[in-house]
């Protein structure tokens, strides 16, 4: 007879695995481009299309859900998640077909909502979102699998930086805008996208042996954990430099210094990785420290831009 305590323990363990699989804090990377665009528009123009804002938030969450589920599917196909990732949705459910169906449903729903938002603003919005989805697919999807070649971080920067930010800016503009605001999108999205790429970068440290065994040449596998960890202070500094440079040039108000709200988490991440970069058990949660830096940094920047009108 199975002891009730053992059953409860297994139930609690499974709940923790599902919590890790859902990765709800990760969705801050999906919503950040439109929150930044909203902050910039409030500060620059003083008006906002709230329906468009909330529609973009929901669509971005659905599309990131598709990317997370499809990445689990692609990693299951290569075997990289077989032992090193018990919280993979495929491993938890044992039903690849259902995970694939949920992934396609998320993609279809997200794109349908984006198509409606494009109808209410500009068809270019849908083109930009499809470009972001394409970058997300070639990151892990066959036959490209560019993430296995160490190119995941640049793709992440492009998708969640200039491309997603340009789409968000256009969604919030009055209907009929026909010019992609690349200059604003690059200035607004460059720094926060470095913080987003840092989240992906930190997610590699605790699975170096599994990635290497299955041919996944992530930047951490290529550089080694010591040299990779030495890059983290530079990435944190680059994030802030790209955000504060427009302020120094007079393009943005002094209130964008609020992006420094993410600095305590960034410093904690730097200290952790310097001490424990080669200890997988101790740094398995480092990506959540990176997420905390990304979230507070982006929210601080969006708030600082919005407060600029004052």
Look up the pTM and report it.
Answer: 0.89
Three-state DSSP at 87 gives coil
Q: What is the pLDDT of residue 192?
A: 97
Three-state DSSP at 57 gives helix
- Give the tens place of pLDDT for each residue, 174-219: 876 789 999 999 999 999 999 999 999 999 888 888 888 877 889 9
Pull the structure tokens for residue 296. 């507070």
Q: Is the pLDDT of residue 7 over 60?
A: no
Greater model confidence, 235 or 212: 235
Q: Is the pLDDT of residue 91 over 70?
A: no
Q: What is the pLDDT of residue 85?
A: 55
The pLDDT mean for the chain works out to 87
Average the pLDDT over 156-180 and give the result.
Answer: 91
Q: What is the pLDDT of residue 10?
A: 45
- Cα–Cα distances in Å, from 54 out to 31, 34, 51, 171, 233? 10, 9, 5, 11, 34
Cα(300)–Cα(216) distance, integer angstroms: 35
Q: Is the pLDDT of residue 304 over 80?
A: yes
Greater model confidence, 300 or 16: 300
Q: How many residues are listed for the chain in this entry?
A: 310
Cα(200)–Cα(210) distance, integer angstroms: 16
Q: Is the pLDDT of residue 9 over 70?
A: no
184 alpha carbon, distance to own chain's centre? 20
């Amino acid at each position: 007879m199975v002891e009730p305590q053992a059953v409860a323990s297994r139930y609690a363990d499974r709940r923790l695995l599902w919590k890790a699989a859902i990765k709800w804090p990760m969705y801050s990377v999906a919503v950040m481009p439109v929150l930044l665009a909203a902050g910039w528009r409030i500060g620059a123009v003083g008006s906002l299309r709230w329906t468009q804002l909330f529609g973009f938030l929901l669509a971005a969450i659905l599309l990131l859900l598709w990317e997370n589920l499809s990445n689990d599917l692609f990693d299951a196909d290569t075997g990289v998640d077989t032992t090193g990732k018990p919280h993979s949705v495929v491993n938890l459910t044992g039903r690849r077909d259902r995970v694939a169906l949920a992934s396609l449903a998320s993609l279809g729903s997200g794109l349908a909502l984006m198509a409606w938002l494009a109808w209410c603003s500009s068809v270019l919005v849908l083109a930009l979102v499809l470009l972001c989805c394409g970058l997300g697919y070639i990151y892990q999807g066959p036959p490209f699998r560019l993430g296995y070649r160490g190119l995941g971080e640049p793709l992440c920067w492009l998708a969640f930086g200039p491309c997603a930010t340009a789409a968000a800016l256009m969604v919030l503009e009055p209907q009929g805008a026909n010019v992609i605001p690349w200059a604003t999108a690059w200035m607004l999205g460059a720094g926060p996208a470095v913080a987003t790429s840092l989240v992906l970068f930190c997610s590699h440290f605790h699975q170096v042996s599994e990635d290497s065994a299955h041919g996944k040449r992530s930047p951490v596998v290529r550089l080694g954990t010591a040299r990779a960890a030495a890059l983290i202070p530079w990435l944190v500094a680059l994030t802030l430099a790209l955000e504060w440079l427009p302020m120094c040039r007079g393009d943005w108000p002094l209130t964008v210094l609020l992006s420094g709200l993410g600095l305590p988490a960034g410093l904690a991440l730097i200290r952790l990785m310097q001490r424990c970069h080669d200890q997988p058990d101790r740094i398995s949660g480092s990506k959540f420290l990176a997420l905390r830096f990304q979230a507070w940094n982006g929210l601080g920047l969006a708030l600082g831009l919005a407060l600029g009108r004052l």
